[in-house]
Structure 1
């Protein structure tokens, strides 16, 4: 993960002008050839960024201490969040919400950061996902404060929600997750292989997508350095009306409702791609064979997390316009919620109650992006809105 210094005022004039629109309509086509930021904008119709909130979203929970990133909801409505150790005081990095309050999960001990036992404790969890078998999977970056990881830190951990006990821990070899990686988000297809597969984005280091055989624990990396997974060159986001250059690679991830395609996007871009899950899941496929299945799906807003539903639609946040969008199967986009309170939509999750849940955490206002000055204004939020569709469950 990298951070670059601010650009000058000229960059603000050029890029802000190209990004002044907020309401999404239609489809767009930007190349996956790492264009400059000002060349990746898509069609939109103007709407005032400070206008009234649109969309019937509800604040489910507020967080006044550590900053959350991940959200997932079990089939019976249990809600789990995570708090990566990126500089805040984080006594526990995975939690279950009980009566609206985070409680360490599955217990306080495993949440205790312990450099002497990297594999046995959660070091810095970026993502939590409930799979189709109603198990909670925890993705530990092993990289507190983006400082790099060592073997045993980066891992995938399964928790049985019936017993509230860890039932599986998969460690990543440094050849798959090197020290400068930042594994970010994950999706599952439990119909593949003997016990299913996980697919994980890497937003740092070599970027790319990691496939994991859940039966054997074997993992492999694909699309490392591919144009579809790396940040756009000279990318500059416009956040709070100011330019913020950044270099984050493959980040958001979503799986198609038929299990054929995996959607993903670098955070530092305004483009969307997909790849064949058959190719990714094949440990014998070469990088070139996997890359040959990549599709350029054109423009999308700058988004952190991605999510999909049973109607073949995709969701994401538009970080530059405080909104949530939906991409329809025909490639058209809709803004489904917008308001000043939706500053930096991080992870999204579709639940069995046919709502879309989203973490709002002001990620870009952290001190690491502003010469040590923390501009975040608490509380952080967990919101939800009705979408009349359910979660994609493959297995």
Structure 2
């Protein structure tokens, strides 16, 4: 028998999805598990759900998950990320861009849902100079230790426009774009992704191909809230920046790249998360792996497994497990001349890391 590739990391299956393809997961401080399903072409009956008793339940209810054209600010259109903040709120990031369309006017939003009452507490919408016609709101991190009510940091992972970090003052809803079109938030022009041994390209029917190009996507925040880590989806590079510099509008955006730190290659990542000790966890979708980046920059692989077919969003639960969605994103029809190669079920997996999530307050 010939030698074979070594796989490692003790993965546990939490949930199998036999319906629509999930992207996001978040585990609350009480252990509740939430997931989301953007409307990318699958039959999405609800775009946000909670796993309750082994079943998916629309969250906070089915009505909210049904797009209401007469009240789009209070209904979910196409949710990319859900984040439980550790203090009783589930934050829902609605792209309002089904099938990666131009965002529906007034529909792109950040929604705070009270986990005790399971009702919407506040909705933040965005001006047209913040959410552009090319914007795709991807992921968000929070720090409630600055300002009156804290700040949110959102990645714009546009595939056809400038990437950016969107900064939101949660007290007044004032939002602005930072690192707009910067190298650190833009796709690496020399990046050629290879997944399952094959080059990943946009391949539409009749033979037309184009490079896989998505801007800033993965995002994580340090336990003290002072450093924001981020990466373009079409890149293997890791960057960080001072959150104080991001919030300081006296620093021109054209000068903000001077505050960006380059951490080197970590592999091509979708989701990222930090633990309470400042370690950053990042997927490597080219190598079916999960990386751990220590505060000193040392990187290690904590899991390498053939089941990690495109690790998407990460969350750290109060049980000290790292939870992550595996959704075979690279097997979608848009990469294979219109042929959908995904095989159900999609998975929610976890691995014990013996660390708690980074605090937000």
TM bin, normalised by shorter chain, reads over 0.9
Alignment deviations for residues 185-214 of structure 1 (CA, whole Å, 9 cap, x no partner): 000000111111100001003111000011
Does residue 150 (structure 1) correspond to residue 150 (structure 2)? The answer is: no
Shift in Å at residue 49 of structure 1? Answer: 11
Pair 1:139-2:74 in alignment: no
- Spell out the pairing of 1:284-363 with structure 2 (5 A cutoff): 284-363=250-329
In 2, are the aligned partners of 1:267 and 1:303 still within 8 Å (CA)? Answer: yes
Per-residue CA deviation, residues 284-313 of structure 1 (Å, 9 max, x unaligned), is: 432134322111111110010111111211
Matched, 1:229 2:195: no
* Pair 1:251-2:251 in alignment: no
Runs of 4+ in 1 over 4 A off after TM superposition: none
C-alpha displacement of 1:335: 1.2
Is contact 2:108-2:131 (8 Å) kept?
A: yes
- Map Cα deviations across residues 249-291 of structure 1 (whole Å, 9 max, x no partner): 1000000122111000001011010011001122443213432
What is the match of residue 215 of structure 1? 171
Unaligned runs of 5+ in 2: 201-210
SS of alignment partner, residue 119 of structure 1: helix
Say if 1:208 and 1:229, in contact at 8 Å, map to a contact too: yes
Q: Which residue of 1 aligns with 2:207?
A: none
**TM-superposed deviation, 1:120:** 2.3
Using the alignment, how far apart are the partners of 1:65 and 1:50 within structure 2?
33
Q: TM-score, normalised by structure 1?
A: 0.86
- Does 1:130 pair with 2:84? yes
**Kindly tell me: are residues 253 and 49 of structure 1, through their superposed partners in 2, closer, same or farther at Cα, counting changes over 3 Å?**
farther
Trace 1:172-251 onto structure 2 (pairs within 5 A).
172-204=126-158, 205-244=161-200, 245-251=211-217
**What TM-score does the superposition give when structure 2 sets the normalisation length?**
0.93
Structure 1 residue runs without a partner (length 5+): 1-47
Does the CA-based 8 Å contact 2:25-2:324 persist in structure 1? Answer: yes
Show the counterpart of 2:14. 60
Contact kept, 8 Å, 1:151 with 1:172, in 2: the verdict is no
Hey, what does 1:12 align to over in structure 2? Answer: none
Higher RCO structure, 1 or 2 (CA under 8 Å, sep 6+):
1
